[in-house]
Amino acid sequence: MAQLYFRYGAMGCGKTMQLLQVAFNYEERGQKVCVIKPATDTKNGDKLLTRIGPERETNFTFTKHDNIFNKIKHEYRDVACVLCDESQFMTPKQADQLMKVVTKLDIPVMCYGLRLNFRQQDGGFEGATRLLQIAHKVEELKTICDCGRKATMNTRWLNGKLVVDGPDVLIDGTSNIEYRSICPKCFYKYLERDVKAPARKAKQQLIDSTKKGKK
């Protein structure tokens, strides 16, 4: 019986590389696969691109308004497997549509993506949250922090400083934005340095300026 898989990990853990390896394994045996990703991920256009070089064109990308089940049912019914990259960007409804691909079309679906975004408080992606709830099998893909510990936190950096708010989607390589996966210990170290300490300093400056204004 076909199943829905969710393979997640922090940035840099090799999710896309594993997806391409699975696609290769199927095709080496003469079987067709359908490789997809959300159109929200605009960095590489319609391609899947890995950090170490290998790349591949998707069969199709989808917006938040597309019905993935209908697309696969009518155009990719003959595939042996559906592989979805950057699956955190899909909607909860689309995660349910992939479950329908599994249960109604009997096609295995393997989703790869992030579990958490970069924000300190609201850390989840809707698509990933739904996949964690409904997937038959959930697997963590591991990577390491610069310090050598296991990296579990996805972080956004602006001009070399940690930021913990802003929109979910902001492509790196623009406006001095970059992303790193780090361990919790390093996260709280940078949080104190770049977020909490400057906030306390700004608050104290405001208090001091208010006191001066009353004299």
Q: Tell me: the pLDDT tens digits for 161-207?
A: 998 877 766 654 556 888 889 999 999 999 899 988 887 877 777 66
User: What residues make up the domain containing 202?
Assistant: 144-210
| H-only helix segments in 44-183 | 68-75, 92-105, 126-134
- Indicate if 138 and 150 belong to the same structural domain: no
Q: Are 108 and 15 found together in one domain?
A: yes
Do residues 129 and 57 both lie within one domain? yes
Cα 121 from chain centre:
17
72 and 94 share a domain? yes
Same domain, 35 and 71: yes
Let me know: does 15 contact 112? Beta carbons within 8 Å. yes
Residues 106 and 205 in one domain: no
Query: Both 126 and 70 in a single domain?
Result: yes
Length of the chain, in residues:
215
SS3 171: coil
Residue 161 belongs to a domain with what CATH number? 3.30.60
In a domain, 125, yes or no: yes
Q: Which amino acid is it at 113?
A: G
pLDDT for 142? 92
35 bridge partner residues: 83
Q: Do 6 and 87 fall within a single domain? A: yes
Q: Specify if 215 maps to a domain.
A: no
Residue 139 sits at the vertex; the CA angle it makes with 55 and 157, to the nearest 5 degrees, is 60
Please give the radius of gyration of the chain, using alpha carbons only, rounded to the nearest integer.
21
Distance from C-alpha of 178 to C-alpha of 47, rounded to nearest angstrom: 20
Please say which residue of 91, 119, 143 terminates a domain: 143
Residues 36 and 84 in one domain: yes
Same domain membership, residue 90 and residue 14? yes
Residue 124 has what DSSP assignment?
B
Pairing mode, if any, of strands 161-163 and 153-158?
antiparallel
Q: Report if residue 35 sits inside a domain.
A: yes
Task: Give me the pLDDT at residue 214, please.
Answer: 62
The number of distinct structural domains making up the chain is: 2
pLDDT (tens digit per residue) in 37-51: 999 876 667 788 777
Walk across the sheet containing 33-38 and list its strands: 60-62, 33-38, 81-84, 109-113, 4-8, 137-140
Structure tokens at 10: 């922090």
Same domain, 117 and 85: yes
- 57, 86, 126, 178: the active-site residue: 86
125 and 161 assigned to the same domain: no
Q: Tell me how far apart the alpha carbons of residues 106 and 166 are, in angstroms, rounded to a whole number.
A: 39
Q: Is 86 a catalytic residue?
A: yes
pLDDT in tens, 94-135: 999 999 999 999 999 999 999 877 765 565 789 999 999 999
